[in-house]
């Protein structure tokens, strides 16, 4: 969807219909003013008309006809650009008229939560660059173009060793601190701190997030996504902290979670817990994308696919290089920052002279459909005012327009060939 701006609604029409004045099946309205070359003319109602110029909207075909009966003067008016009935029994000469609608296409802010693996294996090579460096740059490049429209947070797993060789204090619930003796001896670091901790990035505006991402965390400006020495892959613990982060946050707009890892989870891996967390997110309308970097194989592939399926994204992503990862992330971010019409009430200027000749056509996923006034299940889809000046989108039609599901809408007017009719939407 493009950037916000006035949206012109194209209304095209054909010289056909039932707008007669005398019920005779002929058009009793003919242009009496603003005559020019090729325009129809009538002289006191008793002179044969001359053909209209080709392509003119209105009575674009005017064969010679017998004098009309005496009619009120205003019945002889047929303005250029106004719907008129044709005097041709098989009209095929259509013109067009652009009506301006007072709706705008607007971008709505989105929210992204990254759950990022910084285990020791992320330091291994990926096409000549360390995995963590390549992935971090891809994140930076993907978020930057839309950063001002995003709120972003990140849970990195594991967290750095607290500097003791006797154990760590783990707080997976946010309620109590559990002391685990000798956790960092032999087994490696498995703890994951809360999103409010210094080594994490709490939800913040996109530009500030990118500043923290690339410059904070370990002294000397080390990026926060740099691998943790002795770090393992506590994915279920990372997801538990991500769940707490989302539960405590107040976010406006669509929310998406992106998990990036390079291997099978370990430490206290609990697939049931991890799957339930992601399933709950999906139930709340939060999609989870799972990205597997080089190193994911064997059992890990099945695990990541099951998590992606629970998150509503079917299969985990397997980028071959950093450029592919960046594009995958760009696609995700663009879906999160939605764009849609700012209103379901559309004022038409000028109004559609014959409201029943107006048809709504929408584009969705590259395909066009005609939207009826009432779906075959009885649901009202849209209405137009009696004077043809106001269109109101209703129910799911309105939701699809404001949520950006429809990439465009337009109105066709008159005897036009329409695309297939749209069935009722299925949530």
Domains of the chain: 1-16+96-106+348-427 (no CATH), 17-90 (no CATH), 109-337 (3.40.50.410)
348: three-class secondary structure by DSSP: strand
Q: Say which residues have a Cβ less than 8 Å from residue 241's Cβ, sequence separation at least 6.
A: 155, 157, 172, 192, 193, 194, 195, 200
Tell me: the pLDDT tens digits for 60-88?
A: 333 333 343 444 444 444 444 455 554 44
Residue 137 has a CB neighbour count (10 Å cut-off) of 16
Top-confidence range, 63-67, 181-185, 232-236: 232-236
Q: Which helix (H) or strand (E) holds 382?
A: strand 382-384
- Mean pLDDT lowest among 67-71, 192-196, 308-312, 422-426: 67-71
Strands (E) across 235-310 are located at 254-261, 287-292
Q: The tokens 């003013």 sit on which residue?
A: 33
Q: Please determine, for residue 311, whether its predicted confidence score (pLDDT) is greater than 70.
A: yes
Structure tokens, 54: 């080709």
- Mean pLDDT of all residues belonging to the chain: 75
Tell me: the pLDDT tens digits for 91-114?
A: 444 444 555 567 777 777 899 999
Distance between CA atoms of residues 409 and 396, nearest Å: 14
Model confidence, pTM:
0.60
Tell me: the pLDDT tens digits for 110-160?
A: 999 999 999 999 999 999 999 999 999 999 999 999 999 999 999 999 998
Q: In this predicted model, which residue has the larger pLDDT, 305 or 405?
A: 305
What pLDDT does residue 298 have? 87
284 pLDDT band (50/70/90 cuts)?
very high
Q: Please determine, for residue 4, whether its predicted confidence score (pLDDT) is greater than 50.
A: no
């Amino acid at each position: 969807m493009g950037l916000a701006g006035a949206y012109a609604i194209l209304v095209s029409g054909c010289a056909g219909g039932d707008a007669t004045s005398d019920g005779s099946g002929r058009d009793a309205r003919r242009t009496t003013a603003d005559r020019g070359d090729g325009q129809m003319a009538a002289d006191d109602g008793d002179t044969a008309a001359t053909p209209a110029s080709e392509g003119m909207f209105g009575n674009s075909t005017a064969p010679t006809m017998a004098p009309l009966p005496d009619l009120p003067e205003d019945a002889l008016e047929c303005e250029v650009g106004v719907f008129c009935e044709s005097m041709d029994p098989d009209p095929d000469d259509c013109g067009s008229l652009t009506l301006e609608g007072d709706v705008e296409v607007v971008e709505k802010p989105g929210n992204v939560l990254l759950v990022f693996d910084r285990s020791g294996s992320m330091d291994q090579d990926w096409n000549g660059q360390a995995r963590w460096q390549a992935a971090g740059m891809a994140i930076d490049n993907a978020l930057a173009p839309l950063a001002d429209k995003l709120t972003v947070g990140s849970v990195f797993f594991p967290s750095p060793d607290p500097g003791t060789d006797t154990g760590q204090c783990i707080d997976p619930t946010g309620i109590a601190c559990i002391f685990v003796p000798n956790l960092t001896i032999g087994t490696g670091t498995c703890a994951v701190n809360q999103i409010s901790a210094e080594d994490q990035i709490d939800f913040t505006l996109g530009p500030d997030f990118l500043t923290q991402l690339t410059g904070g965390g370990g002294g000397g400006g080390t990026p926060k996504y740099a691998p943790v020495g002795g770090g393992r892959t506590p994915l279920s613990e990372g997801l538990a902290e991500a769940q707490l982060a989302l539960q405590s946050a107040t976010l406006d707009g669509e929310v998406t979670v992106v998990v990036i890892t390079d291997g099978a989870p370990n430490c206290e891996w609990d697939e049931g817990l991890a799957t339930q967390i992601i399933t709950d997110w999906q139930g709340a309308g939060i999609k989870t994308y799972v990205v597997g970097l080089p190193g994911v194989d064997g059992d890990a592939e099945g695990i990541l696919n099951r998590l992606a399926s629970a998150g509503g994204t079917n299969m985990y992503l397997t980028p071959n290089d950093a450029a592919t990862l960046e594009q995958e992330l760009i696609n995700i971010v663009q879906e999160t920052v939605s764009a849609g019409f700012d209103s379901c009430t559309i004022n038409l200027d000028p109004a559609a002279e014959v409201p029943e000749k107006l048809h709504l056509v929408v584009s969705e996923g590259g395909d066009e459909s005609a939207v009826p006034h009432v779906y075959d299940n009885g649901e009202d889809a849209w209405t137009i005012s009696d004077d043809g000046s106001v269109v109101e989108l209703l129910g799911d039609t309105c939701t699809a327009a404001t949520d950006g599901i429809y990439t465009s809408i337009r109105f066709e007017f008159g005897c036009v060939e329409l695309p297939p009719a749209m069935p009722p939407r299925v949530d």
